[in-house]
Amino acid sequence: MTKRGVIGTTFAVLALSAAPALAKGGWVVRVCRGATEASAIKIQVGKPGGKDELLVNWQSDAKQTDFPVSDTMLAAGKELHVNADSEPADGKVAMCVLHNGAPVKVMNFTDLMDVTASATGKDDGCKCPK
């Protein structure tokens, strides 16, 4: 096996072993692909009252739908501010904010939406709870 093959295999194993930990712990923003018509969504997150940082510029052809909020973006907190902007402006978007794997805030909108999710919240309206 070439050096490139070893590095690629090592990366794949590490990525797969880290995936369950990311999905189960902390904050995750999920795009509900089957219920979303927008071609792109700019998602920003941060602490309520603080500066938001770009989490992802999601494209409709992307396979990834779950976007963990890293500790560098947000120290473990009880609330998460999420701002989402869709393109085109009239494209329907369905998203959920999860904390420790459970939906705590549903975001169904066209154009723009700005919410604050609580870690202790519960929202059963998520269109893609997995």
DSSP assignment of 54-98 equals EEEEEETT-S--EEE--TTTS-S-SEEEEEEEEESTT-EEEEEEE
Residue-wise pLDDT tens digits, 5-25 = 544 433 333 333 333 334 457
Q: Is the residue at 9 inside a domain? A: no
- For residue 119, give the DSSP letter: T
Q: Is the residue at 16 inside a domain? A: no
Query: How far is the C-alpha of 91 from the C-alpha of 98, rounded, in Å?
Result: 23
Higher pLDDT, 129 or 60: 60
Residue 129's pLDDT band (cuts 50, 70, 90): confident
Task: State which residues form the domain around 85.
Answer: 26-118
pLDDT at residue 77, as a whole number: 79
Residue-wise pLDDT tens digits, 94-122 = 999 999 999 999 999 999 999 999 999 99
pLDDT at residue 27, as a whole number: 94
pTM of the model as a whole? 0.79
Q: Is the residue at 72 inside a domain? A: yes
Residue-wise pLDDT tens digits, 39-78 = 999 999 999 988 999 999 999 999 999 999 987 666 657 8
Q: Is the residue at 112 inside a domain? A: yes
Q: Is the residue at 13 inside a domain? A: no
Q: Is the residue at 34 inside a domain? A: yes
Residue 130's pLDDT band (cuts 50, 70, 90): confident
Q: Is the residue at 78 inside a domain? A: yes
User: Per the structure, how many domains does the chain have?
Assistant: 1
